[in-house]
Structure 1
Amino acid sequence: MNLVQVGETIKQRRQRLDIRQNDLADLAEVGLRTLIAIENGTGNPSFETLTKIVDVLGLELNLTVKS
């Protein structure tokens, strides 16, 4: 999954849960601009930032090794 797909997944889940961007940013303790960039696929979030966001949204990070 690339960063654009990650952002789209986060955005879709946030919208499905009817959470506004600024509310998710507050709940996940990340900057609003950071969240917007992630959802747009233009951000390069740290593992910690992604973990905070997916925890709030009830998602899981699935790391796989490419061979």
Structure 2
Amino acid sequence: MDLHQLGVVIKQRRQRLRIRQNDLADLAGVGLRTVIAIETGVANPSFETLSKIGDVLGLELTLTIKS
């Protein structure tokens, strides 16, 4: 999944749960600009940041290492 697709999934889930961007940022302990950048596909977030957002949204993250 590329960064754009990731952002779309996060945005759609947030909207389905009727959570505003600033509320997601507060609940996940990340900055509002970070949430916006992730949703628009311009950020390259750490796994830790994605994990925090995923926890709030009820999303399971899987790490795949390609060799």
- Tell me the number of residue pairs that the alignment of Structure 1 and Structure 2 aligns: 67
Task: Return the offset for 1:62.
Answer: 1.9
TM-score normalised by structure 1 residue count = 0.93
Deviation at 1:65, TM superposition (A): 4.1
Structure 1 Cα separation of the partners of residues 64 and 35 of structure 2: 23
Task: Flag structure 2 segments of 5+ consecutive residues without an equivalent.
Answer: none
Letter in structure 1 aligned against 2:37? A
Between the aligned residues of both structures, percent identity stands at: 78
The alpha-carbon deviation at position 63 of structure 1 amounts to: 2.3
Q: What displacement does 1:64 show?
A: 2.8
> After TM superposition, what 4+ stretches of structure 1 lie above 6 angstroms from structure 2?
none
- SS class of match (2:43): coil
1:33 matched to which residue of 2? 33
Counterpart residue number, 1:5:
5
